[in-house]
Chain A
Amino acid sequence: MKPNSLLAGLGLALALTGAAHAQSTLRIGLAEDPDVLDPTMARTYVGRIVFASLCDKLFDIDDKLNIVAQLALSHEASADGKTVTIKLRPGVKFHDGEPFNAEAAKFSLERHMGMKGSFRRAELSQIDKVEAVDPLTIRLQLKAPFSPLIAQLTDRSGMMVSPKAATALGDKFGTAPVCAGPYRFVERVAQDRIVVERFKDYWDKDRVHFDRVVYRPIQDSTVRLANLRSGQLDILERLLATDVGEVKKDPKLRLATGTELGYQGITMNIANGEKANTPFGKNPKVRLAFELAIDRDAINQVVFNGLQSTDNQWVSAANPYHLSKFPVPKRDVAKARALLKEAGVTAPLPLDFMVPNNPESRAVAEVIQSMAAEAGFDVKIRVTEFATSLNEAEKGNYQLYFLAWSGRTDPDGNIFSFASCKGPLNYGRYCDPASDELLTKARSTGGQAERKAIYEQFAAKWLTEGGVLYLYHRTLLFAHAANLEGYKVMPDGLIRVTDLKMK
């Protein structure tokens, strides 16, 4: 076949391609294929991006991380904090036409709490009972006061599903989810696309401007960007830091950034198995020496061109719970060496550093390796595929583990499971009963100032002796077509499709 005739044929095909996208369709490029589209069973970040168009929640967050009403109108806690009453929005329908009311909200919450294999169980474990008080009011009876509760309801735990569809489909609900979001599910071709279309009875329909939204998982970030540049995508998530310059230069594209709710840090093995039995695991002075050997700003400059927000805490500086009392320690190699000497350690002290297999993590690890060497640490980088690294972390087969956390709206979600003695994510097995008490008190206390004061007491010990060395909060990088209007990066990094329109 002659190349010319082939290209001519393809020209026709291309015309068809162009025509297919002439209608009002928003095309979103995702970095991965989401898992099951059932809010009860889902667990991936990209899945949450899709849910943002499919499933409305009782509450949402605004761009300043304030909790705002969505399917709920208001909430009120009793004086003892053990009862929370939630008023629901009237006139809301699910995609199958069923009404959203107190019974439906009760059904959804009980499904999250009790369904076999539910990933929401732990998030809602403090709820003892859900009651439908009247058609538009529910009451949550709690086992103990739990201040992160409303924040939990701004994510998948607060997503409402149609009781009729959920009962009919059971654990197959994710194959055809029916919720009350601005778009309804049309089809999913695994690893290729998820298509949703405008729900005409949406309660807030004036803010919906596209007829359809198509989510396309494209794992390779270069190809994702090529799709945006060639007009096959309108917006993409997880732009590579190295591509920021290219996007800024392109007049047809716009860059949008925000700071993540989570963090990137190093989990340190303190009491998990044999590998904890080293001066590093046993002596906080040695861990402090390691921290002093590291220059977070240098990592940020070398690997990320200064894009990330360096920090030493579990929430970013933009979060109201950030503790200004604990600034990022400056690099001090002399002090680090002195601390090692004080701890009776003969340099170089070997450390096994488990790092996930991706270019950015490897680069960060290499910078840390060379910095730590100057202070007397012999860091041996062990690049490990993610699934394997989880197992190794569980078994304690590491001394340092480079681990990211995507973050939660409430600060409790970024710390409790990592720092409490029985926390499922406490891979280093740090355990301090006094810290546990403070963490439990912080989650049962109402009021931001009071909780912040408790976290301050907790941080005094955790940040010097604890199990996680926080490095930075990643900057969420999005690129979109210049003619896409109304996009702003939300703190949770999820793309809200309402208010988006083409110029």
Chain B
Amino acid sequence: MLKFLPRRLLQLIPTLILVSMIIFLLQQLLPGDPALVMAGEEKDPVVIAQIRKQYRLDQPLPVQYFYWAKGVLSGDLGESMRIKKPVTELIREKLPVTLQLATMAMAFALLIGIPAGIVSAVKRNSAWDVGANLFALWGLSTPNFWLGIMLIFLFSVKLGWLPASGFVSPFEDLGQSLATTVMPAFVLGNAIAAVLMRHMRSAMLQAMAADYVRTARAKGLLEKSVILKHALRNALTPVITLGALEFGTLLSGAVLTEQVFSIPGFGKLIVDAVFNRDYAVVQGVVLVTASIYITLNLLADIAYVLVNPRLRG
């Protein structure tokens, strides 16, 4: 079992090198000079020259990449030009925020999407099915920023139940932490729940029509057991892949939702960094999220094998 693991782990190295090169090159293609942006309103030529020198912006691209890659290998992702803080420190600050938001959003998505998908498949063409499909349509077509603002108006402005925005660490104050993240997590989870529900439904329908399910029923197994033990287990494989990919996307930062709820996570960090041409931050954050994404894909592959015994060859 899991013979593929060492090979997959080895594959990670060239993938990450390639990703780092692509990140570096792509952002150099962005128009705009970071030194000019950083020079403030006054644009003092002496200061512009100093910024170029300090951040090696006056050196050829391969040289810049070499120094950056050298730093990365020793755990130094550089320094934010804008707030003069090490990128690793910024990532350390933001990762728990993004992780908490992504986990809560995923919990919402799984709790809503999977049961809705199962019920909709099992009770096909019933009112449940129609209801679940309508929910999916709503979830997929509602823009996150709109839903976010509506929730803020309802729960913060009108009812005064929840803080309108911001973030509090759970280690600081668990209650307040949940209060600040529940709305953004629901907004994010809602859209993913809709996708999961649609996939769960079609995978379940396919599984329910399979021969082994008919056999299980013929053997006189309880319907609950047929659905949960036989059909669901097989139907989960594509949903796991999707879930892992969606989780990876959440970890790379939910830009609009973070913006609306003023959550200081990866999304907000990276967007601000792009607009300010804060290269080190963009490179560092994208590299970290790419690594997380690749790792999640690997974990999804491992989960397949655990869920589906036929893959354990």
> Which residues in A have some Cβ–Cβ distance to B below 8 Å?
1, 6-7, 9-17, 20, 33, 35-36, 38, 41, 43-44, 116-119, 121-123, 171-172, 174-175, 189-193, 216-220, 222-223, 226-227, 229-232, 385-388, 390-392, 394, 405-406, 417, 424-425
Is B54's CB within 8 Å of the partner chain A? Answer: yes
Cα A7 to Cα B182 in complex, Å, equals: 10
Partner of A190, one of B33, B90, B165, B176: B90
Cα A388 to Cα B40 in complex, Å, equals: 14
Q: Which residues of B contact A43 (CB under 8 A)?
A: 38-42
Question: What 20 additional pairs, Cβ within 8 angstroms, besides A20-B176, A190-B94?
Answer: A12-B175, A13-B176, A16-B179, A35-B83, A41-B84, A43-B41, A122-B44, A175-B84, A192-B264, A220-B259, A226-B149, A226-B156, A232-B164, A232-B166, A385-B32, A385-B275, A391-B31, A392-B31, A424-B45, A425-B41
For window 244-269 of B, CB contacts with A under 8 Å fall at 259-262, 264, 268-269
Query: Do the beta carbons of B84 and A223 come within 8 Å of each other?
Result: no
Whether A218 touches B262, Cβ cut-off 8 Å, given contacts A230-B164, A232-B164, is: yes
Query: Do the beta carbons of B41 and A405 come within 8 Å of each other?
Result: yes
Q: Which residues of A contact B31 (CB under 8 A)?
A: 387-388, 391-392
Residue in chain B with minimal CB distance to A12: B175
Is B160's CB within 8 Å of the partner chain A? Answer: yes
Q: Which residues of A contact B167 (CB under 8 A)?
A: 192
- The smallest C-beta distance from B158 to any residue of chain A, in angstroms, reads 9
Query: Do the beta carbons of A191 and B173 come within 8 Å of each other?
Result: no
Interface of B is mostly: helix
Partner of B149, one of A117, A222, A227, A231: A222
Whether A387 touches B166, Cβ cut-off 8 Å, given contacts A14-B179, A44-B40, A122-B42, is: no
Residue in chain A with minimal CB distance to B149: A222
Query: Do the beta carbons of B173 and A16 come within 8 Å of each other?
Result: yes
Partner of A223, one of B34, B149, B176, B272: B149
Whether A10 touches B161, Cβ cut-off 8 Å, given contacts A36-B83, A189-B93, A385-B32, is: yes
Query: Do the beta carbons of B157 and A387 come within 8 Å of each other?
Result: no
Q: Which residues of B contact A123 (CB under 8 A)?
A: 42
Query: Do the beta carbons of B162 and A227 come within 8 Å of each other?
Result: no
Is B36's CB within 8 Å of the partner chain A? Answer: yes
Q: Which residues of A contact B43 (CB under 8 A)?
A: 417, 424-425
A-B pairs, 9 with minimum CB distance: A43-B40, A387-B32, A13-B179, A13-B175, A192-B264, A191-B264, A230-B156, A388-B31, A16-B175
Cα A17 to Cα B269 in complex, Å, equals: 25
Residue in chain B with minimal CB distance to A424: B43
Q: Which residues of B contact A44 (CB under 8 A)?
A: 40
Cα A386 to Cα B261 in complex, Å, equals: 24
Cα A388 to Cα B37 in complex, Å, equals: 9
- The smallest C-beta distance from B240 to any residue of chain A, in angstroms, reads 22
Cα A43 to Cα B153 in complex, Å, equals: 34
Query: Do the beta carbons of B83 and A223 come within 8 Å of each other?
Result: no
- The smallest C-beta distance from B95 to any residue of chain A, in angstroms, reads 13
Most buried by A among B156, B167, B177, B269: B156
- The smallest C-beta distance from B50 to any residue of chain A, in angstroms, reads 5
Cα A231 to Cα B164 in complex, Å, equals: 9
Q: Which residues of B contact A223 (CB under 8 A)?
A: 149, 152, 164-165, 260-262
Q: Which residues of B contact A35 (CB under 8 A)?
A: 82-83
- The smallest C-beta distance from A479 to any residue of chain B, in angstroms, reads 14
Query: Do the beta carbons of B157 and A10 come within 8 Å of each other?
Result: no
